[in-house]
Amino acid sequence: MTRGIDIDAPASVVFRWLCQLRVAPYSYDWIDNLGRKSPRTLTPGADSLARGQRLLIAEITDFAPNEHITGRAVSTAERLYGVVAITYRVTPRPSSATRLVVRLLVHEPTRWWHGIRFQLLAWGDLIMMRKQLRTLKALAEQTARDLQPAGSSVPKMSEQRLV
């Protein structure tokens, strides 16, 4: 499963918000954060990544600052979803924009009930990941605006024309 979104913020800002996934899920908090609201400000130290740290349902297996975070589902999540690996990748785009792509690699179903579980995961992920990506987009874009010097204006990707 692959999901992606364009964000009007530098890759470093988007990556910093990805590090916040160690703190909270940033999707539908009432479902996957026990009703607690995901923080709307950056948590100090959340960007100090290390292999073995928890990131949502996964344990970080690899990362490169300002590029990607990759993990494998922890055993409790694997019992529910099967074997899952996840990568969040940020790719710089022109005009200080970024493409954020999330890739879930799920073990191919071998039994009929695994097929049902896979279908439920795919639809559930579509709904939850869409919300997560839109939330991270809004927060990263707000942070990028807050970091701009007063009086400067960088046009949004959607406002730029190709020549």
**Tens digits of per-residue pLDDT, 6-16?**
999 999 999 99
Strands (E), the chain: 2-7, 54-55, 58-64, 68-73, 84-93, 97-106
Of residues 46 and 113, more confidently modeled: 46
Residue 56: predicted pLDDT: 82
pLDDT value at 139 more than 60: yes
pTM recorded for the entire structure: 0.82
Q: What is the pLDDT of residues 65-113, one digit of tens each?
A: 999 999 998 877 677 677 889 999 999 998 889 999 999 888 776 777 7
Residue 83: predicted pLDDT: 80
Residue 101: predicted pLDDT: 97
pLDDT band (50, 70, 90) for residue 29: low
Q: Is residue 93 within 8 Å of residue 6, measured between CB atoms?
A: yes
